[in-house]
Amino acid sequence: MKRIRAAVMSVMLITILQPMNQASAQPLKNTATEKARKLASTIVSDYGVTGLQYAIMDSGTLVLSGSTGVRDRASQSPVTKDTMFGIGSVSKMYVTAAVMMLADAGKVDIDQPLITYIKDFSMAEERYKDITPRMLMNHSSGLYGSHYANSILFDDHDTGNRDELLMRLQSERLKSKPGEYSVYCNDGFQLLELLVERVSGLSYTGFLDQKINQPLIFASTQTPLSTFDRAQLAKTYYPGIPQALPVENTNVIGAGGLYSTAEELAAFGEVLTGSRPDVLSGQSAAAMQSAEYRKGIWVPEETNSVNYGLGWDAVRLTPFDQYGIQALSKGGDTVMYHAALTTLPEHHISMAVLSSNGNSLYNSVFATNVLLAYLQDTGKTGKLIPSPVFEPSIKVKMPADQLAYAGLYGTVGTTLKVEIKNGEISLPALEGGVIPPQAYVYTGQGQFTNKDGTVTISFEKQSNGHIYFKLKAYVELPGIGYTSVVAYEYQKLDANPLAPATRAAWETRNHKSYYGLDEKINSLLYLTPEDLIYTIAVDSKNGYASGTRIVDEHTAVNVAEIPAMSGRDAFDLSFHTVNKQEYLTIDGQSYLSEDAIHPIYGGNASICTIADSGHAVWFKIDAKSAASAMSVEAPASGGVIVYDDQGAMVYSSIVNKDTSSVILPEGGTIVFGGKAGDRFQIHLNPYHKGLN
């Protein structure tokens, strides 16, 4: 899930600044329209977006609707207002609203224990009984985060991930006390989906249809289980693959599975502002906008891009707060679709931006800048606040007490050694690479600043006793605008001395890769093998492995307790051996050690069979088979995928349906997947060796 984790970390960055000078506002002037067109064109031309769609609703009236890019590259058919997109985690606003509708009807009390409504919900420790629906909606439940397995599939609406969630949670523990702090959690919204079904007696898809689509007269807001014309969906594309990908189904519907259009999503934003009391009461809409994040541990700054309400990522989105305007925001990303919803409740204005390919960060930046222009056009705000000017950092003498902050820090998936030398700190890339590796110098008031003054690092001790590494950064997206984040990135860790035998066991795993076995072969996670090949990084001196604290020779557990985003999607590591082959288990999913991955047979013909376990079968491509043309006779339920030595997909029988063979790249890998008992007839033609 590394690619997903990296993507969602970048989504923390939401726009705070206006990138271009505005002409003077006049009533009914089309500044916002022109800005939307210009920014949309830039995003499509410069940021890898295939198609983009946007809409603004103002007090029930559609005042702006537009699109750019193509729905289908092959036909060059454009995106229109009726083109549908996946909206990813913006779907959380629908399941949150659904629970609040049930609260309006007196059927749910969001502060009662969840077990009141899902009686078979249980976990491996008693604290789970304290979890309430409110805690699921404000991300403070203490759940580890996300079960992604087999949830994002091509042309497949398998609901197994959701159906197995309660069973998986039975053997899991919490990472924190319920209500202690808010940290992004997809599983909470899957539980809310189950709550809606248990209380209403309807399927979740049926509830959305009856309680939202029908009263709002929506035709394009659908789930993977809905019956609708899939040709309405914007097609998606992956680098190196010329043809469109099959339809993406995100089957964790409550957390991220809806499709919609910008016009319908903007209209749903009207519900969330309290403008449609026939659907959702004004009282419930207002409750969703409350500052839930402040009920637990949080960064001190009020001006930020992430500050949770109920469902909302932000209930005080900057820069609107600088104008005295409350703005609510929710972003969403699947693997290939991206979305942003921004609403201004006091003005009853909502804007939705949807895209295929790209990142919801771009959509959020787009929405903020266009909304600022619209507010100016309509006289709701005056002159726009100019972009800040940053001064180069000036190093000053550092107090000796700052040296106490040096040491080992950790976050989900990694550890970081912070060294402070002569008032300077050198750090690797942060925020998934958005902030490059660089040096920071002490500039006073407990802050270390980069050369151009746009990024500062400091350290804070919170009420839970943890010391956090805090990042405050401004980053420019050329041609679009600036983004901002203030967040705790890392948590200071204590040394965890290991017994000699434990240390030796973990040192053998350092830099070793483990290959995923349980993911269905039509999963979008196979687009990049880094999502399914987990490489362990062991710090045996301090007693940590890939950010987890080593407990014994076979187990390491999550230690990160970081609010907002950096502590999301936590995991434990558990190893066991079967027939001298070592397996790794993460989130209930099995991975096989690279030591057990063998070269594919280099002869003309061979057979690969899926075992009774249903596990995928991985092979390496060595010099003996490299440059041969491989063709495979596969069962209908099976598939085969080939990667080069850099991990780039070069062939997928799921995607490349019109291609019968592939030249095997030396140093690459092959994976076969399907149902138990599926047999693959493999043919290698060595006469193609050396051909391009």
* CB proximity list for 239: less than 8 A, separation 6 or greater: none
* pLDDT higher than 70, residue 602: yes
Sign of the C-alpha dihedral computed for residues 177, 182, 183 and 189 taken in this order: positive
Which pLDDT score is estimated for 29? 61
Of 82, 91, 242, 90, the closest CA to residue 657 belongs to: 242
* Backbone torsions φ then ψ of 176, nearest 5 degrees: -160, 165
Cβ burial, residue 119 (10 Å; 0-12/13-18/19+): exposed
Higher per-residue pLDDT: 482 or 512: 512
The one-character DSSP state at 127 is G
For tokens 């291609």, what's the residue?
A: 659
Whole-angstrom distance, CA of residue 519 vs CA of residue 533: 11
Residue 20 reports pLDDT greater than 60: no
pLDDT for residue 8 is more than 60: no
Structure tokens at 232: 């309405």
Q: What pLDDT was estimated at residue 688?
A: 55
| Residues forming beta bridges with residue 473, ordered by sequence position | 455, 485
Cβ-Cβ contacts under 8 Å for 38 (sequence gap 6 or more): none
pLDDT score of 690 more than 70: no
What type of residue sits at position 196? V
CB 532 within 8 A of CB 525: yes
Q: Which tens digits make up the pLDDT trace of 398-437?
A: 999 999 999 999 999 999 999 999 999 999 999 888 899 9
Residue 24 scores a pLDDT above 70: no
Which range has the worst mean pLDDT, 50-54, 67-71, 236-240, 246-250? Answer: 236-240
Work out the pLDDT band at 5, boundaries 50, 70, 90. very low
What is the chain's mean pLDDT, rounded? 93
Helix axes 186-200, 92-104, angle to 10 degrees: 40
Mean pLDDT across 342-349: 97
CA atoms within 13 A on the CB side of 233: 27
Side-chain-side CA neighbours of 61 within 13 Å: the count stands at 4
Q: Check residue 183 and report its DSSP letter.
A: B
| Confidence band for 27, pLDDT divided at 50, 70 and 90 | very low
Half-sphere exposure of 125 (CA within 13 A, CB side): 12
Task: Give CA–CA dist 384/56, Å, rounded.
Answer: 20
**Residue in this structure with the two tokens 């000796």, named with its chain if needed:** 400
pLDDT digit string, tens, across residues 361-377: 999 999 999 999 999 99
Beta-carbon contacts of residue 511 (< 8 Å; ≥ 6 apart): 535, 536, 537, 538
pLDDT value, residue 684: 96
Identify how many contiguous H helices and E strands the chain contains and give both numbers. Answer: 14, 37
Cβ proximity of 384 and 372 under 8 Å: yes
Q: Which residues, 6+ apart, have CB-to-CB distance to 358 below 8 Å?
A: 43, 47, 48, 49, 50, 52, 338
In the predicted structure, residue 216 carries a pLDDT above the cut 50: yes
Q: Tell me the average pLDDT across 99-119.
A: 98
CA dist., res. 20 & res. 618, Å (int): 51
- Tell me: the pLDDT tens digits for 307-338? 999 999 999 998 998 899 999 999 999 999 99
Judge whether residue 689 has pLDDT over 60: no
Asked if residue 23 has pLDDT above 50, the reply is no
Residue-level pLDDT at 530: 86
Q: How close are the terminal C-alpha atoms of the chain, in Å?
A: 33
Q: What is the pLDDT confidence band of residue 625, given thresholds at 50, 70 and 90? A: very high
- How far apart are alpha carbons 216 and 261 in whole angstroms? 14
Bridge partners, 442 (sequence order): 448
How far is it, in rounded angstroms, from Cα 43 to Cα 48? 7
Q: What is the pLDDT of residue 687?
A: 59
Tell whether the model's pLDDT for residue 491 goes beyond 60.
yes
Angle 360-377/31-46 helices, nearest 10 degrees? Answer: 160
Q: What percent of the chain has pLDDT over 70?
A: 95
- Token pair recorded at residue 297: 């541990």
> Can you spell out the DSSP letters for 205-273?
HHHHIIIIIHHHT-SS-B-TTS---GGGBPP--BTTB-SPPPPEEE--HHHH--EE-HHHHHHHHHHHT
Give the integer Cα–Cα distance in Å for 17 and 239.
Answer: 31
Q: Regarding beta strands 669-673 and 513-516, do their DSSP bridges make them parallel or antiparallel, or are they unpaired?
A: unpaired
Burial of 669 (0-12, 13-18, 19+ CB in 10 A): buried
Q: Any idea which of 22-26, 198-202, 387-391 has the lowest mean pLDDT?
A: 22-26
Distance CA 356, CA 235 (A): 7
- Show the DSSP H helices in 436-552 as ranges: 500-507
Between 95-104, 293-302, 364-373, 576-585, the lowest mean confidence (pLDDT) is in 293-302
At 25 the pLDDT is 31
Tens digit of each residue's pLDDT (9 = 90 or more) over 146-166:
999 999 999 999 999 999 999
Question: Binning pLDDT at 50, 70 and 90, where does residue 170 land?
Answer: very high
pLDDT reported for residue 489: 95
- pLDDT, tens only, 649-668: 999 999 998 888 999 999 99
pLDDT tens string 250-287: 999 999 999 999 999 999 999 999 999 999 999 999 99
The pLDDT assigned to 26 comes to 36
Bridge partner residues of 474 (DSSP): 484
User: In Å, how far are 9, 199, 394, 530 from 3, measured between CA atoms?
Assistant: 10, 36, 36, 7
Question: Residue 305: pLDDT band by 50, 70, 90 thresholds?
Answer: confident
Do the Cβ atoms of 193 and 232 come closer than 8 Å?
A: no
Q: Indicate whether 504 pLDDT > 70.
A: yes
- Residue pLDDT, tens place only, 508-567: 999 999 999 999 999 999 999 888 999 999 999 999 999 999 999 999 999 999 999 999
Question: Using CA atoms in the order 374, 485, 411, 8, what is the torsion angle rounded to 10 degrees?
Answer: 20
